[in-house]
Amino acid sequence: MKKLKDTENILVLGIFLGICGAVAALVLAFFDDITREPIKKMKMQAVNSALEQVLPAFDNSPGDNVFTKNGVTFYGAKKGGKLVGIAASGCTMKGYSGKIVAMVGLDLDGKVRTVAVVDGKKLSAVLITEQKETPGLGTVVCERKQQKTIVNIFEKPDKNASALPGNKILDQFAGRKPGKAPWKVSKDGGDFDYMTGATISSRAVVSVVYGIAQTFAANRQEIVKQLSKAKK
């Protein structure tokens, strides 16, 4: 053992390092193998929980009723065999730190779905499922988060409260239908408010939601037909 520790023989060193690499590779292959299925399941779960939040009540599994068009993935929700709503997931690379992925619930006529009306404010079925924006600036545009305070932390959660906390930027889309002109933030001459200090993130969010809604509006018949057809 002492010999191996102090050896300078380049061949022995090379072989030792090779064995180390091989053992590491075997261990990694083993763990990759046993975790592959559970990881897939976890990812599916994340998609499903997002779908539940943006879609009306359904009794099929929209996660399996999928149709992709122009890079946007559409999920069909059915109740009693009839298509009741569509969720669509698309992404943009225009975020402040690259990729932003959005999940949008759409009514069959192409309007962005309104989930609920709380205190006269509409909550839209728009979720950002993936983003790397600046914490405190870009994330304010993207996240739906209930603000916890020292006062309400001990209170029991209100059961009547909507599952979706509000977000000033994301809720602007409620009930909107894409027209001819692309949606823009007011700084670019559009009519969507943006967050000061997070113009790029706001722009990206508006454009990704527009892209999704526009793709649906342009290919509505085909998408509805495809999603109605599936038995699931």
Burial profile 55-78: b = 16 or more Cβ within 10 angstroms, e = fewer: beebebebbebbbebeebbbbbbb
Q: How many other C-beta atoms can be found within 10 angstroms of the C-beta atom of residue 177?
A: 13
214 contact partners, CB below 8 Å, separation of at least 6: 178, 182
What is the size of the binding site for other proteins (CB under 8 A)?
A: 34
Contacts to other proteins from residues 26-85, by CB under 8 A: 27-28, 31-32, 35, 38-39, 42, 45-46, 49
32 or 222: CB nearest other proteins: 32
Check binding of 149 to other proteins (CB under 8 A). yes
Of the ranges 52-60, 110-118, 145-153, 199-207, which one interacts with other proteins (CB under 8 A)?
145-153
Please identify which residue in 82, 151, 155, 158 interacts with other proteins, judged by CB under 8 A: 151
Instruction: Say if residues 64 and 232 touch (Cβ distance below 8 Å).
Output: yes
71 contact partners, CB below 8 Å, separation of at least 6: 90, 91
Q: Shortest approach of other proteins to residue 83 CB, angstroms? A: 28
5 or 82: CB nearest other proteins: 5
Check binding of 163 to other proteins (CB under 8 A). no
Q: Of 181, 195, 214, which Cα lies nearest the Cα of 71?
A: 214
Q: Of 211, 216, 213, 196, which Cα lies nearest the Cα of 94?
A: 211
Q: Shortest approach of other proteins to residue 60 CB, angstroms? A: 23
Q: What CA–CA distance (Å, rounded) separates 92 from 205?
A: 8
What is the token pair recorded at 14?
């090379």
Q: Shortest approach of other proteins to residue 48 CB, angstroms? A: 11
Check binding of 110 to other proteins (CB under 8 A). no
14 or 71: CB nearest other proteins: 14
Please identify which residue in 20, 117, 163, 181 interacts with other proteins, judged by CB under 8 A: 20
35 or 68: CB nearest other proteins: 35
Contacts to other proteins from residues 113-142, by CB under 8 A: 135-137
Beta-bridge partner residues of 105: 87
Q: What CA–CA distance (Å, rounded) separates 196 from 216?
A: 30
Q: How many other C-beta atoms can be found within 10 angstroms of the C-beta atom of residue 228?
A: 14
* Residues in contact with other proteins by the rule CB under 8 A: 1, 4-8, 12-13, 16-17, 20-21, 24, 27-28, 31-32, 35, 38-39, 42, 45-46, 49, 135-137, 147-151, 153, 197
